[in-house]
Amino acid sequence: MVRLVLEAARTAGVSPDELNRLPGVGVLGRQGIRVPTMLLTRVWEVSSAVFAEAGGAPRVAQLWTPGRFHVWDYVIKSSADLGEAFDLAARHLPAITDPDSAFIVRRNAAGRLTVATRPVPTFGRVGALIGEFVLGLLLQQAGAALGRPVTPVAITVAGEPPRSHAHLVETFGTRDIQFDAPVSSITFAPADATAPLPGADPALAAIVRDHAVHSISNARPILGWLDKVHAEIADSFADGPPSLDRVARRMTMSSRTFQRRLHDEGTSWREEVEKVREAEATRLLRDTGLTIDAVAARVGFSDVRALRRAFHRWYGRTPADFRRQPSAK
């Protein structure tokens, strides 16, 4: 998936030097590696303005063609219907990207099928663009699997709306697009969710699923420098608000060298702490029963009021409202 977005960035005119400076880009030519989600996020951050001018994130998704994602595409194509296809695709997502990029599949009582992404640790329009890209990709997968055009019944986007979203209405074929949602999601009608897929093949399905499991279990994680910084920040939460000096020592650097390296990576200490806090607080609210006070303490906030202010900054709602949203589960 990172290779696809990098190809789009280069085609759209993003500076090759800027892309080559991103941590982890140099290993993308190797087979059998697991690329960190943060690299994908960084590509979007440096390319977002160019992508917006080129027609938005769905244009990036249109670079996908059936078979480009190898075994993952065939897991979807060989399934019985879209419900099974996306259930299995979610389970085997690490075959094409980092496990942190997982999405959630659910059905309601009326038979509608919704595929929702987990929140992305980035801000503003960048997060929205990533969500729009994933939804565009899922829509293309659905159409390829069914062998016909598919129109979703609803779209939600986690992030700020663009000045105009006419291109999204055209891409998704619906005006029911909600921005500033807890997560990005696409909802399919019951008739599309349960329609038999023309490529359904139980024998092939068993083979490609075994191959997907093998690919995932043998992939080697490649950690960039910022991934190590994030791990140190997350570990430091146990001692309260994270300290730049303490994390710098754990990275075997002076504070000045550490700050200079962050600047060279195009970021800052404050930005990276914010990203780790957002990702960890969101995970704890979504996946655990911890109280909101306990979540605040776990991510190094001095009190729960600081967590509430941060959540309002990230999502425009309180932690309690976020936890109550079904799509956040």
Q: What is the pLDDT of residues 153-163, one digit of tens each?
A: 999 988 778 88
Same domain, 202 and 255: no
**Which range of residues forms the domain containing residue 286?**
225-328
Dihedral sign, CA of 125, 130, 134, 139?
Answer: positive
Which pLDDT value is given to residue 45? 82
The rounded mean pLDDT for the chain is 83
Which pLDDT value is given to residue 229? 87
**32/206: higher pLDDT:** 206
- Domain boundary, last residue among 152, 187, 220: 220
Residue at 72: amino acid letter: W
- Structure-derived torsion over alpha carbons of residues 77, 151, 329, 132, reported in degrees to the nearest 10: 90
CATH number for the domain including 302? Answer: 1.10.10.60
- Domain boundary, last residue among 189, 220, 251: 220
What is the number of domains present in the chain? 2
Q: What is the pLDDT of residues 224-244, one digit of tens each?
A: 677 788 888 888 887 778 899
Residue 234 CA to residue 229 CA, distance in Å, equals: 9
Residue with tokens 């991103």: 22
Q: What is the pLDDT of residues 268-281, one digit of tens each?
A: 999 889 888 888 88
Of the chain, the end-to-end C-alpha distance in Å amounts to: 25
Which pLDDT value is given to residue 266? 76
Q: What is the pLDDT of residues 43-62, one digit of tens each?
A: 888 888 888 777 778 788 88
Structural domain contains residue 49? no
- Domain boundary, last residue among 169, 200, 220: 220
The length of the chain in residues reads 329
> What's this model's pTM, rounded to 2 decimal places?
0.66
